[in-house]
Amino acid sequence: MKTLVWVEHDGTAVKDATLSAVTAASKLGEVHLLVAGQGVDAVAAEAAKIAGVGKVHVADDAAFAHALAENVAPLVAELMGHHDAFVAPSTTNGKNIAPRVAALLDVMQISDILSVESEDTFTRPIYAGNAIATVQSSDAKKVITVRGTAFDKAATEGGSGEIAAVASTGDAGLSTFAGAEIAKNERPELTSAKIIVSGGRALGSGDKFHELIDPLADKLGAGVGASRAAVDAGYAPNDYQVGQTGKIVAPEVYVAVGISGAIQHLAGMKDSKTIIAINKDEDAPIFQVADIGLVGDLFKIVPELTEKL
Amino acid sequence: MKVLVPVKRVLDYNVKPRVKADGTGIDLANVKMSMNPFDEIAVEEAIRLKEKGVTEIVVVSIGEPKSQETLRTALAMGADRAILVTSETKVEPLGVAKILAKIVEEEKPDLVILGKQAIDDDNNQTGQMLAGLLGWGQGTFASKVEIADGSVNVTREVDGGAETDTLKLPAIITTDLRLNEPRYASLPNIMKAKSKPLAQKTPADFGVDVTPRLTTLKVVEPAKRTAGIKIADVDALVDKLKSMGVAK
């Protein structure tokens, strides 16, 4: 099978999510990449070095600058004339673009796969990760999104992909990018962080969230996450949210502070290697998944922990 | 201006799903079912737009006959009329999108607002597929919607922050959690909803083949985590972190 992988990038560098998608795609056969954007020579050069990569298709056009699905999907559909599968990471771009491609190709997408069982059979989580379904596709062409935390990252060196320019399919004229507000964050990106410290509603306020969670995260070199309750209450920005509707993470260590452990939150972090829970309610559901639990007042425990590290 | 809102009947989000012992799926016998939470947000958004000049809200559901209850809920919230497309077999997002595309051809809405994903299959596909089939713009994961003259500005929750796109109307929007806080249907409105029009259809009425493309071979419970330990104090936690090598 010849597989086309969507390269997730920020205009200057390949994002880690791409590397997991490459690993998943390599289980299907030959891996080609698609770098779409404007002024993306550096991204293409970096992509070509990813281990195991064949051709790198580069579509450089203003129409692709913001990865608008209306413009990108026809480009992918065109390239799918000579590829058997389209694989995208489960990033917001991947989730936005892939189903539109699937509809253009008249195939059913397989979302958020956890494993490749064979060329047409995959496993994926359903019901907020409370069940794992094994599904077999009867479609001739496959459109797949990949859960990053379920696949190892492909090596960023050692490959020698051949870079080939692709003719632009142009601007569909349906949508325009009007602006973005990207949160500044100097800490490790949540979906690739090795350690995550996450805060919940029990922190009580945005000030307390930053006063307690941030220093602990910095001591551990960790990314900072939050439960939906903490985000809804305005203690942390939306993109901190870990869960079924937020980000899915699987770090080495996940420290849940003042998080009760609702189903929807667990869906986003229960594949973490070690889960540490700090909560004053010893019956909180988070303790059922935690490897290490500490029952007590987080306002005392967290500062003490930060101090002693 | 007319808005179409597809809604789905799913296992209530508070219920812990149980995998059937024979591995064929989730046990849905005698469990509470509700409107998919993201669809409630979609209905709410349509109603708020109606308060600002939208003339009609049509809600659609595709699935088992009991989906009628979900449609009545949407009517009680404030939708004007409903279309129920009954199917004995499960319809995949591609099939749903194809049926919706036919309904769009008939109803000619200016906007279709869907939830970003259903909490049962967690697919996150239908809105994007419908947009692709219709050749319309798509504003996915919307946290803010502003209708302008002939276009709509959609602020979207994306990795790392928010992005605003301007879409030419007609367009597709899929809702994220923070778009709004859905209202509860009041008792008088629940009573009134019973007399609102509800048309019954089948996939065959639209000439759409809904044969599944994916076969579920089995459904299993995820691997259980081994029982953890409770520790006594911060010093013990520091020791643990040190022994794991995450702290010096």
> Would the CB atoms of B164 and A179 count as touching at under 8 Å?
yes
Tell me what the pLDDT averaged over chain A comes to: 96
Give the relative orientation of helices B93-107 and A92-105 as an angle to the nearest 10 degrees: 70
B78 touches chain A (CB under 8 A): no
SS (H, E, C) chain A: CEEEEECCECCCCECHHHHHHHHHHHCCCEEEEEEEECCCHHHHHHHHCCCCEEEEEEEECHHHCCCCHHHHHHHHHHHHHHCCEEEEECCHHHHHHHHHHHHHHCCCEEEEECEEEECCEEEEEECCCCEEEEEEECCCCEEEEECHHHCCCCCCCCCCCEEEECCCCCCCCCEEEEEEEECCCCCCCHHHCCEEEEECHHHCCHHHHHHHHHHHHHHHCCEEEECHHHHHCCCCCHHHEECCCCECCCCCEEEEECCCCCHHHHHHHCCCCEEEEEECCCCCCHHHHCCEEEECCHHHHHHHHHHHC
Residue B247 has what pLDDT?
79
In chain B, residues 145-184 whose CB comes closer than 8 Å to chain A = 153, 156-168, 171, 176-178
Q: pTM surpassing 0.90?
A: yes
Mutate to test the interface with A, among B125, B210, B226 (most CBs of A within 10 A): B125
Percent of chain A with pLDDT over 70: 100
Residue B229 has what pLDDT?
93
Contact assessment for residue A28 and residue A122, using Cβ atoms and an 8 Å cutoff: no
**ipTM of the modeled complex:** 0.96
Here the tokens at position A265 are 């939150």
Q: Is the pLDDT of residue A184 over 80?
A: no
A294 touches chain B (CB under 8 A): yes
- CA closest to B179 among chain A residues: A232
Residue A186 has what pLDDT?
82
- CA closest to B94 among chain A residues: A108
Contact assessment for residue A233 and residue A293, using Cβ atoms and an 8 Å cutoff: no
Cα dihedral angle (A74, A75, A78, A80), rounded to 10 degrees?
-100
Here the tokens at position A145 are 């999104």
* Model confidence band, residue A182 (pLDDT cutoffs 50, 70, 90): confident
How do residues A251-277 score in pLDDT, each as one tens digit?
Answer: 999 999 999 999 899 999 999 999 999
| Range A140-149 average pLDDT | 96
Which amino acid type is present at position B70?
Answer: T
> In angstroms, what separates the C-alpha of A21 from chain B's closest C-alpha?
17
Peptide bond into A285 cis (omega under 30): no
Spans in chain B with pLDDT lower than 50: none
User: β-strand A131-137 against A121-126: which pairing, if any?
Assistant: antiparallel
Residue B189 has what pLDDT?
97
Contact assessment for residue A180 and residue A93, using Cβ atoms and an 8 Å cutoff: no
From the list B122, B128, B161, the residue facing A180 with the nearest CB is B161
Here the tokens at position A124 are 């994926």
Here the tokens at position A20 are 């997991």
From the list B166, B216, B221, the residue facing A175 with the nearest CB is B166
Mutate to test the interface with B, among A75, A91, A174, A307 (most CBs of B within 10 A): A174
Q: Is the pLDDT of residue A185 over 80?
A: no
> Would the CB atoms of B212 and A108 count as touching at under 8 Å?
yes
Q: Is the pLDDT of residue A142 over 80?
A: yes
If phi > 0 it is left, if psi is from -120 to 50 it is alpha, else beta; for residue A305 that is alpha
> Would the CB atoms of B222 and A182 count as touching at under 8 Å?
no
Residue A8 has what pLDDT?
97
Within 8 A of A232 by CB-CB distance, chain B residues are 178
Q: Is the pLDDT of residue A32 over 90?
A: yes
Contact assessment for residue A259 and residue A286, using Cβ atoms and an 8 Å cutoff: yes
From the list A103, A121, A191, the residue facing B217 with the nearest CB is A121
Residue A26 has what pLDDT?
97
Q: Is the pLDDT of residue A135 over 90?
A: yes
